[in-house]
Amino acid sequence: MASWYDAWADRYGVWTSGATEDIPFYVGLARDADGPLVELAVGTGRVAIPVAQATGRRVIGIDSSPGMLAEARMRAAEEGVELDLREGDMREFELEEPAALIYCPGRSLLHLPTWADRRRCFERVAASLRPNGRFAWNAFAFDHRVASAFDGQHVDTPLPHTSYVSIGENRVDVTLDEGGTGSLWWATKNEWLGLLDVAGLRLEALYGGFAGEPLDDDSGEYVFVARR
């Protein structure tokens, strides 16, 4: 996972240039949080930098990719905000003091391939939150009809790539024309709720979009907020 992201960290901003609708959602949670803010899979700081700007507070950003972290440091310096960027695994991170908010935007939890990997992450989150602290994340609500339409399809934007779907493996592969493949392993709503249960977290809200839309059969996104 890290090597694939390292290879195109300098172009990740192009890939995510249209991804902005989640930023106000996570900024709002950060403004409500009375204590440390932590972003898992911080990447290039796409969300962490606006959160730091909006709150005037330092954001701890954890990512396994040195290349992504280097881009985040450069972008944070350009924007004049402070990020505490740390190379690490979201399944194993530790904090000096409990967080008021831990969040994982950009569907990044889907880079964890197995239930066991996600369970380890959720358990670390639960152990790292203050009492009543929040954990928020988003992930796509997988639709087989949509998947069949784009399986094997090549597109040129935001970067030339081809997507492949493995239904049996619950996996989507994105292969860049110039080389390198990244994978996402999807999970159902009940799998996410099960992870909360085993970690000792409680569900606060589940939306079908970042504006608080109710989740229904046409929703393309899960947006979760949980509490310790």
Structural domain total, the chain: 2
Per-residue tokens: 118: 């996600």
What gap in Å lies between CA 201 and CA 65, rounded to an integer? 28
Answer yes or no: are the C-beta atoms of 185 and 110 closer than 8 Å: yes
What letter would DSSP give residue 190? H
Say whether both 181 and 153 belong to one domain.
Answer: yes
Please check whether residues 90 and 32 belong to one and the same domain: yes
Asked whether residue 68 falls in the same domain as residue 179, the answer is no
Q: Tell me how far apart the alpha carbons of residues 160 and 151 are, in angstroms, rounded to a whole number.
A: 15
12 and 36: one domain? yes
Render each residue's pLDDT in the chain as its tens digit; 228 residues. Answer: 445 676 665 666 555 656 678 999 999 999 999 999 999 999 999 999 999 999 999 999 999 999 899 999 999 999 999 899 999 999 999 999 999 999 999 999 999 999 999 999 999 999 999 999 999 999 999 888 888 888 899 988 777 889 899 988 889 888 888 877 888 999 999 999 999 999 999 999 999 999 999 999 999 999 999 999
Residues 57 and 75 in one domain: yes
Distances (CA, A) of 130 to 21, 33, 95, 136, 197: 27, 11, 11, 14, 17
Entry pTM:
0.92
Do 164 and 71 reside in the same domain of the chain? no
Residue 215 CB neighbour total at 10 angstroms: 17
Segments forming the whole domain that contains residue 50: 2-141+187-227
Distance separating alpha carbons of residues 103 and 55, to the nearest angstrom: 15
Inter-residue contact 104 to 61 (CB < 8 Å): no
Does 172 share its domain with 84? no
